[in-house]
Amino acid sequence: MVADVETLTERAKVLAELHRGKSPLLLPNAWDAASAQVLEGAGFPAIATSSSAVAGSLGYPDGEAAPAAEMLAAVARIAAVSSVPVTADLEAGYGLPAAEVVERLLEAGAVGCNLEDSDNRSGGLVDAERQAERLAEVRAAADASRVDLVINARVDVYLHQVGTPGQRLAEALRRARRYLEAGADCVFPILVSDEESIAELVRDAGGPVNVLYQPGTPSLARLAELGVARISFGGGLHRATQMLLERLAQRILNGEDPYQR
């Protein structure tokens, strides 16, 4: 059942406030209704999707290889079983106009989204000013919908290994500031992992910063001390679940009890 505007508005408000709490918003990303129910049941106050995990669960690689309709249908199934806010990883928006991105996201029952500045067709980065314009269009469409959509603008300079480490940080900061000016609520310099760069991004970006937790990243406690507003886990839980399933499957093939600890 699609949530009404009043419910979506309230959930969007809650999600926005979670970015301004004393502790970071922890988002171990879901990929289907069952995983979302587990995460909400564990006590997480919001649910995020992972594009790589959702695409993988549907049989597609990441990078906008899955049809937009299938990705959004998965978001809708997650939102349908969730009583907490849902924010969806929409990759680069699947080539949809900004107004349609917002319309279809809200129809699915989500109140937040990730939008990345990678061009999945060329394999490079979108021009920062062009991405800022798109984010501004999404913000305007959200304003028109009367739901204060929480926009998490992904900054992919670390993903694409742009320039030297110093140049990479400078470009990440430039893009982060511009995207926040354009109407993003949070910025997500994905794959930044060293403490010094994270601290500088938090200090100088001009708004909440999201960090992907992965091997080599500072601990959750240290990220909180650095002032990180949001910590995502991307496709990590999905990959771990797949690895567990592989081990259990191998036990069955070996004639072993898959449930024995």
pLDDT digit string, tens, across residues 207-218: 999 999 999 999
What backbone phi and psi angles, to 5 degrees, belong to 186?
Answer: -155, 155
CATH number of the domain that 212 lies in? 3.20.20.60
- Between CA 90 and CA 100 the distance in angstroms is 12
Structural domain tally of the chain? 1
Say what the pLDDT of residue 1 is.
45
Say what the pLDDT of residue 2 is.
56
Judge whether 261 lies within some domain.
no
Judge whether 259 lies within some domain.
no
Residue 51 has pLDDT above 90, yes or no: yes
Judge whether 214 lies within some domain.
yes
Judge whether 42 lies within some domain.
yes
Q: Which domain range does residue 115 map to? A: 5-253
- Between CA 62 and CA 76 the distance in angstroms is 19
Judge whether 108 lies within some domain.
yes
- Residue 138's closest CA among 103, 186, 190, 110? 103
Judge whether 139 lies within some domain.
yes
Residue 93 has pLDDT above 50, yes or no: yes
Per-residue pLDDT reduced to its tens digit, 70-86: 999 999 999 999 999 99
Judge whether 260 lies within some domain.
no
Judge whether 100 lies within some domain.
yes
